[in-house]
Amino acid sequence: MTYVVTEPCVDCKYTDCAAVCPVEAFHELPDRLLINPNTCIDCDACVPECPVEAIYPDVNVPDEYQDWIRINAEEAEKYPIISMKKPALHGPNCAGPEE
């Protein structure tokens, strides 16, 4: 099992999850984060840190977000690792909480 970042993260890039990841499995894109399934150790530390509830275990990803399993697996390694908290991105499609 691995964890997967899904669509609610797009334009709502919070990095609290990356800051608690013990193995640096998160990768940063301009408008979202992704999890590298080859690095993720399934520790569950990131899930409660996501204020927009965008992270799921791969076996429990809702049907509407199933494509995100592939997106994380194929795209994460193409982007830099992030392991610290940064100011959140509140882009035009963000429905998440304001800081």
The DSSP H or E segment spanning 26 is strand 26-28
Residue 24: which CATH number? Answer: 3.30.70.20
Could you tell me which of 1, 99, 93, 19 has the C-alpha nearest to residue 51? 99
Give a yes or no: residue 31 inside a domain: yes
7 vs 96, more confident = 7
Give a yes or no: residue 24 inside a domain: yes
DSSP letter at 84?
S
Please write the tens of the pLDDT for every residue from 60-84.
999 999 999 999 999 999 999 999 9
Residue 30 belongs to what domain range?
3-78
Please write the tens of the pLDDT for every residue from 22-53.
999 999 999 999 999 999 999 999 999 999 99
Give a yes or no: residue 99 inside a domain: no
**Segment 2-14 mean pLDDT:** 95
pTM of the model as a whole:
0.93
Give a yes or no: residue 94 inside a domain: no
Look at residue 49 in the predicted model and tell me its pLDDT: 96
Domain count, the chain: 1
DSSP letter at 30?
S
